[in-house]
Structure 1
């Protein structure tokens, strides 16, 4: 039983909801600057310095791969330096990264900035947020995760257009510096005021159940890699995110010849907005259902949306498909912590989240390139997106498999 059990988690006075607010802001700026903002950096650094697009995009790839390595050691860092120090270190690294992006003059500084951004992910990314909220919530864990991770989507919807608008009026350098100041002014106070483990807990006891299970030892990374249940969660989600990343990156290129640039841009907006709706909707009921079943349903809905998308040229149908697809986009980072908590256990939660996030990050990084490669071979997106449909359906089937779990255990996990 977690520390939060025995209190009214639905009460607005419960301190855990202030932690959710802090995590929302962390996700807002981490994903806004660290993921969605990279398209802005690509354009502006090319314009300002004349650097080739391959140089900047290679730095992005370097950052994503370095992040996938660093997140493996999130639990070690939490044990060594503590929760608040790690988050503040992540905030400092992200702030240094965005300032350096604004002031840089040489290509080597670009790689330093992106390396600092990777350090930021280890302090304010999904693993830390999931581990922290896992310590505060039991009955409302799914809702808390959904609300906090909505900050990631809002970072793309709000921060990126704001950066573009500010860049047009005051220039890229001033825009980045101003946005960095706002980030520190908003995030620093809430981290200092709200962030912490529940009273009487630490990383080692986060979410630890009571009774016999409380004595269960933490699994090492080697043990996790030998755990079939871990792989039937990590691999299908990684495959689904690979297909998802492939579609998202190529969405505008696919839609523009069919419905025009303006409508293609509108489709992206609809998809992002529906991601927010999807996370909120999931949060309302996911604590009462089997997360593996909900995950499989989300993957199947994305496969269905892509399948219909390939059959039509009607603008309304295409926009509707993007809306349906977007409904499940954000939930792929909500399911892993829920499944890990139920099936792998609390003692290994941070280690499993770090290792799973790393594997998923490496696998999904190949999504855009794979879709682009198939498209270049076939001359169109039909085969590429059909491949994504198949990947989603295979992932949906695999995630429903619970190796080594008895019928009684399955019933318990679904209750």
Structure 2
């Protein structure tokens, strides 16, 4: 039983909320620099060095795929070096990555920077945030996750425009170094003061040490891969994220001919803002909801928004569809930890989160390419986005399939 069950989680004095603040800041900078900022790097590195866009884009793909491999081993790293040390390693790696992006001169340094960014994702990304908050909260777990993961969206809304503004005034190199310094000043003391397991928890929950003292996961990845409950959570999330990534990357290209570039930019802003609203709204009620049912409803709402989007050319209606679609964007990374905790259990939480995030990351990485290919073959986005509608509905159907009660996984 976690420490959270013995305290009032709704009290503002509960230490878990300070952990939420630390996780919010981690998500803010990790997603701001590691995901949303990549569009800035693409433009600025091309401008500064004249490198082809394909080189920078390939480095991004390399980083995402490497991240998908590294996160599988999050549970092992938590056991071997500890929670705070893993987060600090991730923070240092991310800071080194962004500083190197500012100072680099040759393409091989770009790949080194993006490899360091992958280490940053391992130490400060979704799996670590979900695992630590899962240990601190039980009754308010959904709200805690929603608040922390809102840092990811805020990173896109705040950090990227700030980087662009600073780049325009003091240059890309100085902007990146200043933002990196700000990250260290803000995140380092918060992590040192607030991050840790609840009292009485010496190591990552769900792990044990073998007779020889070697850390081993309490449940093996092989057992998880043979578990139906795991797949009926991971597969639909991966499919929905594939469709979601495809739409997000191609959204401006689709809307530009219909409503113009400035209105298309407004649609992106509205969608991102609604992602924050959606996370906060869900966080208030999700702990009283069936997470599978709520997940299916979110996927269905995105399918409906895309379907209406394809039928309309009215600017107001198109913006409204983007708002509805955005309402569920952030929640796609909130549902997996809730489902894992209920159906697979705390004993295998970190292992299941790492493996599930890896699978979803690899699958969703193909979303923009698949949508782009569909558009190339057909000449417009109608068939491509119709495919995304179908994928969302299939995902909603799969996530509603309940293979049984909590799985009894074999110990490794």
TM-score range, shorter chain: over 0.9
d(CA) in 2 for partners of 1:128, 1:205? 12
Moved segments of 4+, more than 4 Å: none
2:206, 2:218 within 8 Å by CA — same for their partners in 1?
no
CA drift at 1:402: 1.1
Match for residue 59 of structure 1? Answer: 59
Using the TM superposition, give the Cα deviation of residue 128 of structure 1 relative to its aligned residue in structure 2, in angstroms. Answer: 0.2
- Contact map agreement 1:131 1:206 (CA 8 A) in 2: no
Residue number in structure 2 paired with 1:15: 15
CA contact under 8 A between 1:72 and 1:358: conserved in structure 2? yes
The whole-number CA distance in structure 2 between the counterparts of 1:204 and 1:401 is: 30
Alignment TM-score, normalising by the size of structure 1: 0.95
Pair 1:250-2:267 in alignment: no
Native 8 Å contact 2:143 2:283 kept in 1: yes
Superposed CA deviations along residues 352-376 of structure 1, whole A, max 9, x for unmatched, are 0000000000000000000000000
Matches within 5 A, 1:104-115: 104-115=104-115
Cα deviations across residues 283-310 of structure 1 (Å, max 9, x unaligned)? 0000001100000000000000000000
User: Is the 8 Å Cα contact of residues 135 and 198 (structure 1) preserved in structure 2?
Assistant: yes
TM superposition shift of 1:207: 11
Distance 1:207-1:222 versus aligned 2 partners, 3 A rule: closer
Q: Which residue of 1 aligns with 2:148?
A: 148
Gaps of 5+ in 2: 209-216, 408-412
2:184 aligned with 1:164:
no
What's the RMSD between the two structures over aligned residues? 1.3
2:21 matched to 1:24? no
Would the alpha carbon gap of residues 207 and 78 (structure 1) be closer, same or farther in structure 2, given more than 3 Å must change? Answer: closer
1:206 to partner: Cα distance: 5.5
**Residue 263 of structure 2 corresponds to which residue in structure 1?**
263
Does the CA-based 8 Å contact 1:59-1:110 persist in structure 2?
A: yes
- The match for 1:213 is none
Measure, in 2, the Cα distance between the counterparts of 1:70 and 1:23: 20
Kindly indicate whether the alpha-carbon contact (under 8 Å) linking 1:134 and 1:206 is maintained by their aligned counterparts in 2.
no
- Aligned match of 1:293: 293
Give distance in 2, aligned partners of 1:373 and 1:310. 18
Greater mean alpha carbon deviation, residues 65-74 or residues 195-204? 195-204
Q: Distance in 2 between matches of 1:206 and 1:100?
A: 37
Matched, 1:70 2:70: yes
Equivalent positions of 1:343-382 (< 5 A) are 343-382=343-382
1:1-23 CA distances to partner (integer Å, 9 max, x unpaired)? Answer: 32110200000000000000000
TM-score (norm 2): 0.95
Give aligned pairs, total: 399
Determine the C-alpha separation between the residues in 2 that align with 1:302 and 1:151.
Answer: 22
State the match for 1:5 in structure 2.
5
Q: Does 1:387 align with 2:376?
A: no
- Which whole-Å CA distance do the structure 1 matches of 2:338 and 2:184 have between them? 30
Native 8 Å contact 1:204 1:347 kept in 2: no
Instruction: State how 1:163-312 maps to structure 2 within 5 Å.
Output: 163-205=163-205, 218-312=218-312
For residue 205 of structure 1, give the secondary structure of its aligned residue in structure 2.
Answer: coil
In the other structure, the counterpart of 1:212 is: none
Deviation at 1:204, TM superposition (A): 4.4
Counterpart Cα distance in 2 of 1:118 and 1:203: 24
* Whole-angstrom distance in 2 between the partners of 1:6 and 1:197: 15
Distance 1:203 1:253 in 2: 47
Distance in structure 1 (CA, Å) of the matches to 2:152 and 2:306: 23
Separation (CA, whole Å) in 1 of partners of 2:189 and 2:386: 47
Counterparts of 1:282 and 1:28 in 2: how far apart (Å)? Answer: 19
Question: What is the deviation of 1:404?
Answer: 3.0
